[in-house]
Chains A and B, each alone.
Chain A
Amino acid sequence: MKHWKIFVIVFINFIFLLSPTRIAVGCGPIIFFEGYSFINPDIIDRESPYAPYFFYFKDFYEHFEKVKTIQTNENLEEWQAIFCEQASIKAIGDVIYNAPLSQIKLLKTSINNKKYPIPPRLKANHFAQHLKENQCKYTVDYLIFAKECEPHVTYYNEWENPSRDTLRMEELISRGKSEFLKSKSNYIRLRYAYQLIRLAHYKKNYAQVMELHDYLMPKIDPVESILNYWILGHKAGAMMSMGDNVQASYLFSLIFENSASKRESAYRSFKITSEEEWQEALLLCQDDRERSTFYAIRASSESSRAAEEMEKIYELYPESTNLELLLVKEIKKLEKDLLGVVFNDKSRQNSQFYGIPRKKAGDYLISMQKFVAKCVEEQKVKNTNVWKLADGYLQFLAGDFYAADKTFRKIESDIKDPLLLEQLEVFRLALRINEFEDVDSEDEKEIADIILDDPLYKKYKDFPDFMNDRLNYVYKKQGNPGKAFRVHHNISELKPNPQLEIINDLLAVCGKEDPSKFERALITKKDGTTIKNDLLDMKGTHFLAIGQPEAALEVLKRIPRAEWNNYQFNPFIERIGPCIECELISPADTMVYFNKVEIIQKMFELEYKAKADYDNSAFFYYQLGTAHYNMSYFGHSWNAKDFFRSGSNWGYDKDGIFSDYYSPFGNRENQDLTVALEYFEKAREKASSKELAARAAFMAARCELNSYFVSKESNYNSYKNNIPQLPAEYQRYYQLLKDFYSDTQFYQDIIHECKFFAAYARN
């Protein structure tokens, strides 16, 4: 029993995994690129903490907070290292970033005079305690100075005038200089230098930045610190502002290579504008490693064709981590171009809106393959296994699945790193899915196992799309349109415009004695029942809608009788005015509801009576006309022949099919009133009562009016109350009413009730 329950839960989850998720949309769809990616940037992430920025420069602003965090962490870690890890990062952070100036000043008083305790807010702070115990006066003086500088060098609201108090900033520079000279700590001197140079930069006094740099830095013994690059950043910024692109860009390249927190800003500030500047800048580089960084920065641009720069980097400094970063970046582009392009159901929109695949993607892939093969063969790169993996994956992207499989098998024993091993397995899983052709029950078993049990399938978010798109393609090719439909859509998405070949294919699956686990998932609803009855209802309703009631009856009867009454209507109830969602029950009515089977049987009965009971045939024909009208788009029982009706579908259709974002086949509306009109005409012709004839003529006129509203020549807007000009060919029955039935009571009633008719009657 327990096992059975587990199976049900797993199975229901499986169904859920198969069900496509709808994205929330407003008025219309926003077109995004839709493809797949299986390369995991993390395979190089651990080696280089800067990697994420390499990939996501374009998303810099989304990562702004992350950059700030890196900067803060770097700074705190350095403070902690300087103080021999005597305090936690949090304690240091509370003093440096969170404590207000007044508290730091009180801390200074406490250090200077043993009688004074540490201020209450910092009393329990180990860093503050350490500063007091060790009489770190210069450090606290520096912290006070830094706090005073802070308002002048931090973010301001761009809408306000950025009027900086330059006099006060100048005072701080002057005071800072003297504190710098007083300080005996080399490290604190470096911190003062940073504050002073930054103040001058924010003052936009670029010459002063250079002066301060040249004056202060020689007075500091070389010390390894993140501040060296922060200071360099201000110097480079000042140089750039003074027009020295070349020197500035060289400095930015050093920052790019060496400072995690300033890497992005260095990338954005790097600016070489001509071949001459590029050559000059390369001459400034001390070695090939520095030169290779220049090429890495240029290749970081979103529009780069990095193969060119990768060759250069390899030539200069093959063990550069940047080379691997660029490799992954380029593979991601090639994935967009080539991975699953044959079966990606969004290929067309990718091409239309994004120009993907790029026209020369194939040529670019070949050049990349050659380069990667060289790297694998020469083994000069930092991590050859990354390149071996890339080699196999590029073969996969090139469509050489046999070679890719062979490469993956070959390198399996070489790879020991768990993340690289995972990457290998991911590539192999993608390759396996890509290879599904002529899917049989064995394959379906394997597919179900992958979906349910493979942890990588669940971990890599593009696998479900990749699998569904592949299966959709294969099932279509092998003549299983129903299965193809189901891997992409919920069954409800078929209802706006049922497709018989899809329904029949799925009904065949429902009829199988021993469907595969995957097939069961395709036809099982979340409540554990199958979609068989929904399919039969859709099929029968569709036959009814296209005027084949006999076929409809046979199909609907296959639904268990107990379920016939799930939906009930009464299309035989007459409503003279427009009535789509109106309440049918009125005091005069004794409401009788019919299910779809009963409706068809009743219509057959009326048809028979109309022919058999000649004296009353007009009345029966009128009832048949009423039923057909009410089951059309324009009537209250529209849902006897349809599942979805949009109130705005009054034009822009193609052969009666309206576009519908949620339905792949659009929305079919039953707007053809030909049959209803024929019955009303028969009723009018055969009516012995002039009142009934007038009534039939009026209903026929309504059929004509609605037919005009949805015709190509009409610009009728259902949201406006304007009475449209009705062309003569759509006015035949209004004319008839006027000419022959104006003496009836019905005519007198209707002319008061129906504004449209009153208007036409006046003309």
Chain B
Amino acid sequence: MNQERSVKPAFYHWKNEINLSNSEYQYLTQLDIKKLYIRFFDVDWKDNRVVPLSVLNVATPLPDSFEIVPTIFITNRTLTNSTQSTIPELVQNIDKKLKQLSDSFKHQPFQEIQFDCDWTQQTKEKYFDFLNQFKKLQAFEHITISATIRLHQIKYFEKTGVPNVDRGVLMFYNMGEISAPETTNSIIDIPIAKQYLSNFKKYPIPLDLALPIFKWGIVFQDSKFIRIINNLDANDLIDSSRFNKINESRFEVIKSTYLNGYYLYQGDQIRLEKVLPNQLEQAADLLSKEIQTSDLNIIFYHLDSTLISDIPHETLEDICNRFH
């Protein structure tokens, strides 16, 4: 980039209820964050119909100074089970739900709406059709519509297609095969990412960037993926009467027990995954050369007291500075 670009940090809020803690407010202030991408609801296929799930509850309103970007996650199975003829109904329903929820943000008119979807080649046509129809809704005529983009969808954009939206957000995480026991870190894997760093210059829409700061544990039973336990780290597995440390990131349950609300059986294995500051730095150094956007939003996933307590705000500040 020849000219100085503007880089704005932001956060995803991915919980069902808005009720920010003091530490979260403080963290946002320290990073001078003015924009929050808030998951308003998920759209999923249940009981043989498309339904909104995990609908946001605003327990404590946010200060008006925040710009809110409603973010809607659409599961791929929603699209798999939809037909071209039911897409208009999906558009209408999402529009309706958005309007209902916008009552809680009366003083924060939306400038952008984001859709997150793990679309595949099989569902691409329906998803793109959905976006096209949504864009045509009068209420959103002057609003930026953005959509999440996966790494491979940039490298192979000529094959995978590009959604007809105003901006894309590159999700720079969930790179590895989470359910494979041999994976070391499915959240972020710089060598894998490097293989996909091409075609950014040719990508036809401006890209923002989503970076991970989350952690989790992946539970395997007989080498079979069982579940994810969010926010898990080694401190939760310190009890040697229940857990045996195999290495830094792998533990075995030696006595059946509850862990963060889940019952695990003797013999189950847990793979811990997290993002280290140096991985974020490497990501920033790689991506700063590739991403061409002049007004770049860097959105950290996601706002949570436990997660931010692991990462000093200066680290995220430094990450953003690497894009200048």
Contacts and interface: CB of A to CB of B under 8 A. Distances in A.
Nearest to B242: A275
A272 interface: yes
A64 B47 contact: yes
Given A272-B258, A301-B263, A159 B224 contact: no
Which 10 residue pairs are nearest across A and B when measured between Cβ atoms? A358-B222, A355-B224, A273-B261, A159-B93, A305-B265, A303-B226, A359-B222, A274-B258, A158-B51, A161-B100
Interface in B214-264: 221-227, 256-258, 260-261, 263
Given A27-B122, A61-B47, A159-B52, A275 B223 contact: no
Contacts of A298: 263
Contact of A304 (B96, B257, B260, B265): B265
Interface in B155-185: none
Contacts of A158: 51-52
Contacts of A272: 258, 263
- Interface size bracket, B side: 20 to 34
Interface string A84-96: 0000000000000
A354 B224 CA distance: 8
B48 interface: yes
Given A272-B258, A275-B257, A303-B227, A360 B96 contact: no
Nearest to A360: B222
A371 B221 CA distance: 21
A235 B290 CA distance: 58
Interface string B41-66: 00000111001100000000000000
Interface in B80-127: 93, 96-97, 100, 122
Interface string A353-384: 01110111100000000000000000000000
Given A358-B223, A359-B222, 4 more contacts: A61-B48, A275-B257, A358-B221, A360-B222
B302 to A, nearest CB: 22
Contacts of A356: 224
Nearest to A160: B96
A593 interface: no
A449 interface: no
A557 B55 CA distance: 74
B277 interface: no
Given A301-B263, A303-B227, A305-B221, A273 B258 contact: yes
A454 interface: no
Residue from the set B46, B51, B223, B263 with the largest chain A CB neighbour count within 10 Å = B263
A61 B256 CA distance: 30
A360 B267 contact: yes
Contacts of B260: 273
Interface of A: 27, 61, 64, 158-161, 271-275, 277-278, 298, 301, 303-305, 308, 354-356, 358-361
A275 B97 CA distance: 40
A354 B93 CA distance: 36
Residue from the set A61, A271, A356 with the largest chain B CB neighbour count within 10 Å = A61
**By DSSP majority rule, is chain B's interface helix, strand, loop, or mixed?**
mixed
A277 B258 CA distance: 10
Contact of A308 (B96, B224, B265): B265
**By DSSP majority rule, is chain A's interface helix, strand, loop, or mixed?**
loop
A611 B108 CA distance: 91
20 contacts: A27-B122, A61-B47, A61-B48, A64-B47, A158-B51, A159-B52, A159-B93, A161-B100, A271-B261, A273-B260, A274-B258, A278-B258, A301-B263, A303-B221, A303-B226, A305-B266, A308-B265, A356-B224, A359-B222, A360-B222
A652 to B, nearest CB: 14
A162 to B, nearest CB: 9
Contacts of B227: 303
A65 to B, nearest CB: 9
Contacts of B223: 355, 358-359
Contacts of B266: 305, 308
Residue from the set A275, A277, A303 with the largest chain B CB neighbour count within 10 Å = A303
Nearest to B265: A305
Contact of B222 (A159, A275, A361): A361
Given A158-B51, A359-B223, A61 B46 contact: yes
Nearest to A337: B222
A308 B257 CA distance: 12
A360 to B, nearest CB: 5
B127 to A, nearest CB: 16
A362 to B, nearest CB: 11
A278 B97 CA distance: 39
Nearest to A353: B179
A359 B181 CA distance: 12
A308 B264 CA distance: 11
A466 B46 CA distance: 34
A275 B258 contact: yes
Contacts of B48: 61
A356 B221 CA distance: 11
Given A61-B47, A303-B226, A159 B96 contact: yes
A27 B256 CA distance: 44
A737 to B, nearest CB: 35
A271 B263 CA distance: 11
A272 B261 CA distance: 7
A355 B96 contact: no
Interface string B195-229: 00000000000000000000000000111111100
A676 to B, nearest CB: 34
A477 B48 CA distance: 46
Contacts of A304: 263, 265
Contacts of A61: 46-48
Nearest to B51: A158
Nearest to A274: B258
Contacts of B226: 303
A61 B46 CA distance: 7
A159 B46 contact: no
Nearest to B219: A303
Nearest to A354: B224
Contacts of A277: 258
Contacts of B96: 159-160
A278 B262 CA distance: 12
A272 B256 CA distance: 14
A301 B264 CA distance: 11
Contacts of B47: 61, 64
A203 to B, nearest CB: 16
A27 to B, nearest CB: 7
Contacts of A308: 256, 265-266
Contacts of A273: 258, 260-261
Nearest to B222: A358
Nearest to B224: A355
Contacts of B46: 61
A515 B159 CA distance: 55
Contacts of A301: 263
B256 A358 contact: no
A63 to B, nearest CB: 11
B98 to A, nearest CB: 11
Interface string B17-32: 0000000000000000
A161 B226 CA distance: 35
Residue from the set B46, B222, B256, B257 with the largest chain A CB neighbour count within 10 Å = B222
B210 to A, nearest CB: 28
Contacts of B256: 308
A301 to B, nearest CB: 7
Given A27-B122, A158-B51, A360-B267, A355 B222 contact: yes
A301 B221 CA distance: 13
A44 B147 CA distance: 51
A354 B221 CA distance: 12
Nearest to B94: A159
A305 B224 CA distance: 13
A355 B263 CA distance: 21
A56 to B, nearest CB: 15
A305 B268 CA distance: 10
Contacts of B261: 271, 273-274
